[in-house]
Amino acid sequence: MVSETVKTIVVSGYYGFRNSGDEAVLQSILSALEEEGRAAGIVIKPVVLSIDPECTSRTYGVKAVHRMKLAEVRNAIKNSDGLISGGGSLLQDATGLGSIPYYLGILKLAQWMGKPTFIYAQGIGPVNRKLFRPFIASVFRRCEYISVRDSESAALLHSMGVARDGIQVVPDPVMGLALPEGEAAGAATGSEELPVVGVSVRFWNADRSELAKLAEGLASLCRRCAVHIRFLPFHVPGDDEASRFVIEQMGNVAEFGCAVSTAAETEHPYEMLREVSRCRLLIGMRLHSLIYAASQEVPLLGISYDPKIDHFLSRLASVPVGSSAELDPRIVASQAERLLGEGEAWRSTQASRIHELKREAREPAKRIVEFVRSRE
């Protein structure tokens, strides 16, 4: 009996923090590596760096080690065939000064140990502190493979001194995530006879003005047509509180024949993907709520609070319905009503783009598997 070739790859990212979008990135990477490994005739054994390794192991059935325990991280990398850093927005200093040093440090550790390193569909930036830029360039120039999720990230890396021809622009990994084979989307919980409008919100403006305007737009939509507004918290705690704020601001929409509900906290990305698949329309602030919708061919309206929203929508030849700085409730209501009535036309228009994005989303896994297989 011929023994299987096993390749161990450490996966570094923002995992174990109960953020549905980042967990979906992890599931997407794991699924793509498994499928591409199978196609190449090898077994990929992932080891995930997680803030909650027990939860990560239980949820995905893979080995995980604590991302902040250096001895465990070093041992995992030492016994691996390479390290993946990605996806998501790991190398940015908008949310604090710790992210860039941590993720660069993990990459540098692997490089010091002579392990190949791979950048998997990352969104780079913003990098406001120039002192970080030469360190990013130095580490990235030693990577065997670099992919980013938008052309703006590629341009930023190039401005730091990373060769443009060494950077592949691909979609976010989550575009390649599919529900388990043979599983059909079910009916939404409660008010199944009403078209479900999924809503993904987060706190952003200090005065919550964008959420108040969105609530006004949703209330206006309810006066126009009977719908089931279903809030989908992608990051708990936080998004559930933002959802409650919008619900309170909407007032009593039951008098218009509408229903309002909030999805329960989910542990596995497939649970939220199922929720999105049941929607007739999705209105989202969270990037991955929009990516989920596109992957399931659900018409979508994006509200931009960060350029990454605009970058993704541009791949669908679309623009945000508004932004955190400027959101018109009347436009939200009218565009939502239009898409509810033109769902099939939207799917027909977007079908080829979505198909191509799903194909491209698998490219990093294919390239990485090819590399580790060549080093047998």
Residues 346, 206, single domain; the answer is yes
Q: For residue 195, which phi and psi values (nearest 5 degrees)?
A: -65, 135
Rounded distance between C-alpha atoms, residue 149 and residue 172, angstroms? 5
Considering the domain architecture, whether residues 99 and 150 belong to the same structural domain is answered as yes
Residue 3: partners with Cβ closer than 8 Å, 6 or more residues away = none
Q: What is the pLDDT of residue 189?
A: 41
Tell me which residue range forms the domain holding 85: 5-176+361-374
Determine the Cα angle at 174 with ends 20 and 355, to 5°.
145
124 and 264 part of one domain: no
Write down the H helix ranges in 234-328: 239-250, 269-277, 287-295, 307-315
Total tally of structural domains belonging to the chain: 2
The residues near 15 (Cβ < 8 Å, ≥ 6 apart) are 22, 23, 26, 48, 49, 50, 51, 56, 64, 67
Query: What's the mean pLDDT in 218-240?
Result: 95
Quick one: 233 and 253 in the same domain? yes
Across residues 106-125, what is the average pLDDT? 97
- pLDDT > 70: what percent of the chain? 96
- As a whole number of angstroms, the distance between CA 183 and CA 102 comes to 38
* Tens-digit pLDDT profile for residues 60-104: 999 999 999 999 999 999 999 999 999 889 999 988 899 999 999
Look at residue 185 and tell me if it is in a domain.
no
Same domain, 13 and 159: yes
The answer to whether the CB of 292 falls within 8 A of the CB of 281 is no
Task: Answer yes or no: is 181 within a domain.
Answer: no
Please report the DSSP string for 148-182 in residue order: ESSHHHHHHHHHHT--GGGEEE---GGGG--PPTT
What are the tens digits of pLDDT across the range 278-302? 999 999 999 999 999 999 999 999 9
| One domain, residues 105 and 131 | yes
Q: Give the separation between CA 236 and CA 15, rounded to whole angstroms.
A: 14
How far apart (Å, rounded) are the C-alpha atoms in residues 317 and 336? 18
The residue that leads in pLDDT, 86 or 335, is: 335
Residues with Cβ within 8 Å of residue 51, at least 6 apart in sequence: 15, 16, 17, 66, 67, 68
Query: In the 8-state DSSP scheme, what is residue 239?
Result: H
Bond preceding residue 307 cis, omega within 30 of 0: no
> For all residues of the chain together, what is the average pLDDT?
94
Nearest residue to 123 via CA among 94, 101, 165: 94
pLDDT tens per residue across span 143-167: 999 999 999 999 999 999 999 999 9
Percent of the chain with pLDDT over 90: 89
Instruction: Check residue 158 and give its pLDDT.
Output: 97
Contact 47, 65 (CB under 8 A): yes
Say yes or no: 336 and 366 in one domain. Answer: no
Per DSSP (E only), the strands in the chain are 5-12, 42-50, 63-66, 83-88, 117-122, 145-148, 167-169, 196-200, 228-231, 259-262, 281-284, 300-304, 322-323
If you average pLDDT over residues 7-13, what whole number do you get?
Answer: 98
* Strand, helix or coil for residue 207: coil
DSSP structure class, residue 67: T
298 plus 312 within the same structural domain: yes
Predicted pLDDT of residue 198 = 98
Cβ atoms 15, 22 nearer than 8 A: yes
Does any domain span residue 226?
Answer: yes
The answer to whether residues 206 and 145 belong to one domain is no
User: What's the angle, vertex CA 190, arms to CA 302 and CA 238, rounded to 5?
Assistant: 45
Look at residue 184 and tell me if it is in a domain: no
Cα–Cα dist 87/376, whole Å: 26
Instruction: State yes or no: pLDDT of 133 exceeds 80.
Output: yes
DSSP letter for 98, please.
S
Q: Are residues 334 and 367 in the same domain?
A: no
Q: What is the pLDDT of residue 182?
A: 62
Rounded Cα distance, 234 and 21, in Å = 7
Q: What is the pLDDT of residues 359-368, one digit of tens each?
A: 999 999 999 9
Higher pLDDT, residue 103 or 180: 103
Amino acid making up residue 373: R
Average pLDDT over residues 114-140: 96
Q: What is d(CA 268, CA 286) in angstroms, rounded to the nearest whole number?
A: 17
191 part of a folded domain: no
H/E run at residue 17: none
Cβ–Cβ under 8 Å, residues 356 and 363: no
Report which DSSP code applies to 256. Answer: G
pLDDT digit string (tens) for 182-212? 665 443 444 468 999 999 999 999 999 999 9
Does residue 314 lie in a domain region?
yes
Residue 261 pLDDT greater than 60, yes or no:
yes
189 is a domain residue? no
Q: Are residues 335 and 207 in the same domain?
A: yes
Q: What is the CATH number of the domain that holds 233?
A: 3.40.50.2000
Residue 186 inside a domain? The answer is no
CB 175 within 8 A of CB 357: yes
pLDDT at residue number 94: 87
What pLDDT, on a 0 to 100 scale, did the predictor assign at position 312?
Answer: 94
What's the pLDDT at 183?
64
Residue 9 has pLDDT above 70, yes or no: yes
Express each pLDDT in 33-60 by its tens digit.
999 999 999 999 999 999 999 999 999 9
Do 102 and 227 belong together in one domain? no
What is the pLDDT confidence band of residue 125, given thresholds at 50, 70 and 90? very high
